[in-house]
């Protein structure tokens, strides 16, 4: 097969990029190692910043988001007994949207179907070749066991943190940065109406807790747990008790309901030394990841898609490599801002048992509650205006 851009991975990065390119008349083929149902049911992000919403609108998949998603003016930050609203709309005139990644994935999938986008699901043995030449290629085995090969001018590595693209870069670890945090999140999906109108980020001596949502009937909740903890140690009752205790404030009650999914997720920050090698470009989690406390992973993937998309359009339409040449530096500027913000939110809100750190966190949070400049800083980073 021959195409203009070969895209590895049909997660949000891969499908957003394929739609962005199609909008500009550029052809791509997507390959994905999982089944479509699995990709569309994978529970992950829920919070979209302004620029991600703008991109989804631009590529024609924003309609259901605006109809079924929830626009929030801000978030709540809390320490025991005190809950404070940080109103982004008032502070900086921007809002965020709550809309599940599962739904974005379905909307993108439908848009790809409508456009006749070629996507191979359930592929195996993906290998990247001749990345330093002008005619790189990708080989794989399709789901019927046939060997396949795609020749393309550009390869977009949209295959997440564990995919083969980053590993195909020689010395990919050189210049890379990584921080593994001594915390994990126990994430819960529950059939219960949210007990809050906006997301709650709560710091408690027992650990962080968070209340998000997916609809007026479904809540998404998180608890800080030890990374070595086992989900089997967490009965539904224990989860609800811990959430209620960590998020308690006078006059407020956490509604409980049927838990439909629960799992423990490790937390790390990672920035790849290289986002480009010859004609291969890394996009989204393939090139960088953050802990979810700042709600940034999917949003910075959207940012990469725009930057790389612009570079690819310039390459094919104007025969210029200028946009591609600056992709890595342009994307990294945002990636490091996002990395810092996610690290800041994570270290401010998660407890590590150290009394000195506890006092610093409380002082920092109390400062945010009182200080408009700090609130504005948080708001600008959270909504992602740059
Ligand atoms: P993905 O979603 O990992 O997709 C990569 C795709 O590549 C496929 N793949 C391969 N395909 C072909 N061949 C191979 N050999 C392959 N190996 C892998 C995979 O199957 C997959 O389909 O990366 P992408 O597209 O860059 O998207 C990134 C986002 O998924 C991620 O950053 C966010 O989910 C992070 N995140 C959040 N981000 C936000 O912006 N806001 C949030 O509120 C938010 N909450 C979260 C999150 C991530 C979480 N978890 C589970 C890590 C909450 C959680 C709990
Ligand atoms: C979510 O809804 O899953 C979510 C929202 C905000 C975060 C992390 C996760 O910071």
In this prediction, what percent of the chain has a pLDDT beyond 70?
100
- The answer, yes or no, to whether any atom of ligand 1 lies below 6 A from the CB of 128, is no
User: Measuring CA to CA, which residue among 125, 136, 126 is closest to residue 277?
Assistant: 136
pTM, entire model? 0.97
pLDDT tens for each residue of 279-328: 999 999 999 999 999 999 999 999 999 999 999 999 999 999 999 999 99
User: Nearest ligand to the C-alpha of residue 14?
Assistant: 1
pLDDT tens for each residue of 17-44: 999 999 999 999 999 999 999 999 999 9
Q: Is the pLDDT of residue 357 over 80?
A: yes
Under the banding of pLDDT at 50, 70 and 90, the label for residue 386 is low
Is residue 228 within 8 A of residue 101, CB to CB? The reply is no
Q: Domains for the chain: give ranges and CATH numbers.
A: 5-71+97-177+269-343 (3.50.50.60), 181-268+349-383 (3.30.9.10)
In this prediction, what percent of the chain has a pLDDT beyond 90?
98
Measured in angstroms, how far is the CA atom of residue 318 from the centroid of ligand 1? 32
pLDDT tens for each residue of 178-233: 999 999 999 999 999 999 999 999 999 999 999 999 999 999 999 999 999 999 99
> Catalytic amino acids?
72, 201, 292, 296, 382
Among protein residues, the one with the nearest Cα to ligand 2's atom 4 is: 46
CA atoms within 13 A on the CB side of 224: 25
Beta bridge partners of 139: 127, 149
Among protein residues, the one with the nearest Cα to ligand 2's atom 7 is: 295
Among protein residues, the one with the nearest Cα to ligand 2's atom 10 is: 295
pLDDT tens for each residue of 264-279: 999 999 999 999 999 9
- The beta strands (E) that lie in the chain are given as 5-8, 28-31, 47-48, 70-72, 74-79, 82-87, 96-98, 118-120, 124-129, 137-141, 147-151, 154-157, 177-191, 200-202, 209-213, 219-225, 258-271, 276-277, 280-282, 288-289
CA atoms 106, 96, 23, 165: torsion sign: negative
First to last CA, the chain: 40
User: Nearest ligand to the C-alpha of residue 7?
Assistant: 1
Helix (H/G/I), strand (E/B), else coil: 76 = strand
């Amino acid at each position: 097969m021959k195409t203009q851009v070969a895209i590895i991975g049909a997660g949000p990065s891969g499908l957003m990029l394929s739609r962005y390119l199609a909008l500009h008349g550029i052809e791509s083929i997507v390959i994905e190692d999982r089944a479509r149902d699995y990709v569309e049911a994978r529970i992950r992000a829920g919070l979209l910043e302004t620029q991600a919403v703008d991109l989804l609108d631009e590529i024609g998949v924003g309609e259901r988001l605006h109809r079924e998603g929830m626009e929030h003016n801000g978030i709540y930050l809390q320490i025991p007994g005190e809950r404070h609203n940080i109103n982004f709309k008032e502070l900086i005139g921007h809002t965020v949207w709550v809309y599940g990644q599962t739904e974005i994935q379905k909307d993108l999938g439908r848009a790809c179907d409508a456009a006749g986008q070629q996507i191979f699901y359930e592929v195996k043995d993906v290998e990247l070749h001749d990345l330093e030449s002008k005619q790189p290629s990708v080989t794989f085995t399709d789901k019927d066991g046939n060997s396949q090969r795609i020749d393309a001018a550009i390869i977009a590595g949209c295959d997440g943190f564990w995919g083969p693209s980053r590993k195909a870069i020689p010395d990919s670890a050189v210049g890379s940065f990584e921080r593994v945090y001594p915390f994990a999140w126990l994430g819960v999906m529950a059939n219960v109406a949210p007990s809050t109108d906006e997301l709650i980020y709560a710091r408690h001596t027992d650990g962080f807790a968070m209340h998000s949502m997916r609809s007026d009937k479904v809540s998404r909740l998180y608890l800080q747990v030890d990374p070595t903890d086992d989900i089997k140690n967490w009965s539904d009752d224990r989860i609800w008790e811990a959430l209620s205790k960590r998020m308690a404030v006078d006059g407020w009650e956490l509604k409980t309901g049927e838990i439909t999914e629960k799992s423990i997720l490790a937390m790390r920050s990672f920035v790849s030394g290289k986002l480009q090698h010859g004609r291969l470009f890394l996009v989204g989690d393939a090139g960088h990841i953050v802990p979810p406390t700042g709600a940034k992973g999917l949003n910075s993937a959207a940012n990469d898609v725009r930057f790389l998309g612009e570079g690819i359009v310039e390459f094919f339409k104007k025969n210029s490599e200028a946009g591609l040449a600056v992709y890595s530096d342009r994307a990294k500027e945002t990636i490091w801002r996002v990395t810092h913000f996610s690290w800041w939110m994570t270290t401010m809100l998660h407890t590590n048992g150290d009394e000195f750190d506890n006092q610093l966190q409380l002082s920092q949070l109390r400062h945010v509650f009182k200080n408009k400049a700090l609130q504005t800083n948080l708001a600008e980073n959270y909504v992602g205006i740059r």
